[in-house]
Amino acid sequence: MKKTAVVVCPGRGSYNKAELGSIGRLHASQQPLIQQLDAVRHELGLASISELDGAASFSSRLHQQPENAAGLIFSAGLLDYHSINQQQFEVVAITGNSMGWYTALGCAGVWHPAAAIQYVSQMARLTASAAGGQCIYPLVNSDWQPDAEKIALVDALLADYAGELFESIRFGGYAVLAGTEGAIKAALDRLPKVDERFPMQLPGHAAFHSPLMAQAASDAMASIDGSSFARPRLPLVDGCGRIWQPYATEAEALKRYTLERQVQGCYDFSLAIEVAVKEFAPDALILLGPGASLGGAVAQSLIRLNWQGLGSKADFSARQQHNPLVLSMGLPEQRQRLTLD
C-alpha cells in the first residue's frame, strides 16, 4: 500500500559547497530535463546548470550569485521531485520555504520547467538588487521547545524598529528578520549570542519577504505574464497557509500571491507545515534537495503542534529511529527509501 506524502521544497542558500556535483551525480537518468533547463539558461546569457554543478571547485562568487544559486536550487529540487518513487509514495500536497515556493510551482505543474527556470532566475535578480538584509535567530531552547525570553527579545526589537525591521520568515524554531542595513546591524548588536552562531546575518541576502521588496514585486508583476500560470496538478500550501486546489485556483490570483504578496510579506513556513499536516495527514513529509537544511525547521514546526505526540527534540529523534515521519532527499540513507534508484 502506498504511503501518502507532503513534499517540502527548500529555500535560498540550500546549494552549498557540499552539494557541488550532486545534480550530475544523482540525476544522470534525467538528462533530457537537465538539457532543457540548460538551454533556457544559455538563452538568458547565464551559465548552465550542468556547468555550475560540474565545476571543478565551489566558488561562492559564482555559485552564490543570485541567478546561479536560484537556478541550482530550483533544478535540484525539481529533479528530486521527479525521482520520488511514485509506486511507494502518493504525493498529496506540495509546499516550500521562501524560494521553495517557486520550486513548488514547478513541481505542481503551475510553471512548465522551461518557464520556471526563466522566472526563478528573473526573480532572483529582481529581489537580490533590493536594499537591506536578513538575519536569523533561534526562538527555541536546546530541546526545540519555545523560549519565551528569546521571543520577547525579538518582539521588543521589532517594536523598537517598526517600519525598518520586519518578520521575514517564520521558520520553525527560528525567526528570520529582514530590514534596512541599520536595523539589521541593531539586531546583530542587541540580540544575545546563542551557540556562538546567532544572531547570524545571511550573506548575500536582501530584505526578502518584507515591504522593502515593493519595487521588486512591482517589476515582477509588470514583466511576468499571467498566462504562464496554470492550475496546479496537486494542492499547494503557500506561505500564508492557504491551499491552492487544482480545480479552484484562479491563475491571476496565484500570480498576485506569487509575485506580490509573498515577495513583500512575511513567509510563514511554520504555518504552511501546520496546514499541510492537519489538512492532509500525510504518512511522511518528503524534503527535497539540494542539501538537508529543512529538517530542523520542519521538526520544530511539528513539535510546536505536538504532532503525533512529538513534544521535544528527543521525541522527534526517537520517532525518526523507528518510524521516520520526515524523510530528506539530501541524506543518503533516507534518500534510498524515497527513490527508484
Angle (deg, nearest 10), helices 113-128 and 66-83: 150
How many CB atoms lie under 10 A from the CB of residue 103?
Answer: 31
Collapsing DSSP states into helix, strand and coil, what is residue 147?
coil
Query: CA-CA distances (angstroms) from residue 245 to 86, 129, 154, 233, 289?
Result: 21, 33, 35, 8, 24
| The domain made up of 133-205 is a member of CATH 3.30.70 | yes
pLDDT tens series, the chain, 341 aa: 899 999 999 998 889 999 999 999 999 999 999 999 999 999 999 999 999 999 999 999 999 999 999 999 999 999 999 999 999 999 999 999 999 999 999 999 999 999 999 999 999 999 988 889 999 999 999 999 999 999 999 999 999 999 999 999 999 999 999 999 999 999 999 999 999 999 999 988 999 999 999 999 999 999 998 889 999 999 999 999 999 999 999 999 999 999 999 999 999 999 999 999 999 999 999 999 999 999 999 999 999 999 999 999 999 999 999 899 999 999 999 999 999 76
Instruction: Say which residue the cell 541524506 belongs to.
Output: 331
Collect all residues with Cβ–Cβ distance below 8 Å to 77 and sequence separation of at least 6.
Answer: 9, 10, 100, 103, 106, 107, 288, 289, 290
Alpha-carbon distance of 48 to 253, in angstroms, equals 32
Per the CB < 8 A criterion, the answer to whether 153 and 142 are in contact is: no
Delimit the CATH 3.40.366.10 region(s) of the chain.
3-129+213-338
Architecture of domain 3-129+213-338: 3-Layer(aba) Sandwich (3.40)
Model confidence, pTM: 0.97
Angle (deg, nearest 10), helices 295-305 and 269-280: 60
> Could you tell me the three cell numbers for 171?
521558520
Closest CA to 285 of 31, 3, 12: 3
Per the CB < 8 A criterion, the answer to whether 162 and 175 are in contact is: no
